[in-house]
């Protein structure tokens, strides 16, 4: 087993037991992260924060670990354990991977809400005269999508993004979902590899059914009657 932290391999060890593809238990012995369950020696306790724990039942390359590190959920059957630690209450986290079981907090571990992450990036803005200029913007990422704000240089455009004007429910969904908006629009359902899963078009409301698709995270690409495109995240359970 190789242990990665923030995409970097920090530990490698050999385990004699087998990891089943249908259960994340090691032959009835529960794996622990942070400290042994019944330890009385606090020097073994993890002094830090933990989120987005993933357990694979096949070898992953360092490049694959890095590639999917920032992906909220990868719908690969070999991902037998996925614990994003987003419940916020209680001591249990449901496994969102292909395996069974759940994770449990112990030894005094507590929840902490760090809020949305701020990610600086460089964006190219093109005005009507086809003159390109660069600007610096701030993107705020949250569980419902992303919004961006910033001021451009040498162009007449100041507002470079707006909040989505569409709503969808239920989200998470067991399969059926409705998207509501203004006027006529088209909705495409994409997996995290960009493949189109489903497509529908309607006026003010569009219904979709992804009951036969795997559990995991999907993207909705919504195009309104003016050709404006927005995206929203959809969780299938």
Q: Tokens 């913007």 — which residue?
A: 137
Instruction: Report the distance separating Cα 96 and Cα 156, nearest Å.
Output: 45
**Six token digits for residue 49:** 């924060």
Reference 57, options 18, 15, 93, 95; nearest CA is 18
223, 229 Cβ separation under 8 angstroms: yes
Q: What is the pTM of this model?
A: 0.40
- pLDDT 10s digits, 136-169: 555 555 444 444 444 444 444 444 344 457 888 8
| Sign of the torsion angle spanned by Cα atoms 90, 94, 96, 97 | positive
- pLDDT 10s digits, 104-145: 777 677 877 665 555 555 666 555 555 555 555 555 554 444
Reference 182, options 194, 162, 166; nearest CA is 166
DSSP single-letter state for residue 44? G
Reference 82, options 51, 115, 49, 117; nearest CA is 51
Reference 104, options 117, 94, 114; nearest CA is 94
- pLDDT 10s digits, 54-105: 888 888 888 887 777 766 555 677 888 888 777 677 777 888 888 777 787 7
pLDDT at residue 44 in the model: 64
**Six token digits for residue 70:** 């920032």
**Six token digits for residue 212:** 């036969």
């Amino acid at each position: 087993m190789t242990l990665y932290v923030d995409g970097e391999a920090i530990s490698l060890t050999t385990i004699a037991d087998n990891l089943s593809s249908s259960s994340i238990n090691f032959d009835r012995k529960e794996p622990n992260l942070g400290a042994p369950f019944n330890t009385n020696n606090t020097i073994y306790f993890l002094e830090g924060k933990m989120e987005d724990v993933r357990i694979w039942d096949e070898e992953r390359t360092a490049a694959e670990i890095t590639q999917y590190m920032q992906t909220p959920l990868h719908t690969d059957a070999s991902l037998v354990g996925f614990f994003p630690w987003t419940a916020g209450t209680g001591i249990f986290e449901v496994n969102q991977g292909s395996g069974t079981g759940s994770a449990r907090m112990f030894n005094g571990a507590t929840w902490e809400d760090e809020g949305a992450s701020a990610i600086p990036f460089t964006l190219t803005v093109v005005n009507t005269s086809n003159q390109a200029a660069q600007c610096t913007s701030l993107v705020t990422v949250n569980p419902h999508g992303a919004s961006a704000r910033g001021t451009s240089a040498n162009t007449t455009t100041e507002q470079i993004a707006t909040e989505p004007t569409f709503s969808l429910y239920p989200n998470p969904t067991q399969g059926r979902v409705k998207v509501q908006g203004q006027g006529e629009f088209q909705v495409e359902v994409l997996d995290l590899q960009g493949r189109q899963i489903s497509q529908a078009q309607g006026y003010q409301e569009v219904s979709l059914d992804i009951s036969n698709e795997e559990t995991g995270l999907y993207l909705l690409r919504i195009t309104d009657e003016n050709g404006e495109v927005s995206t929203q995240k959809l969780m299938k359970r």
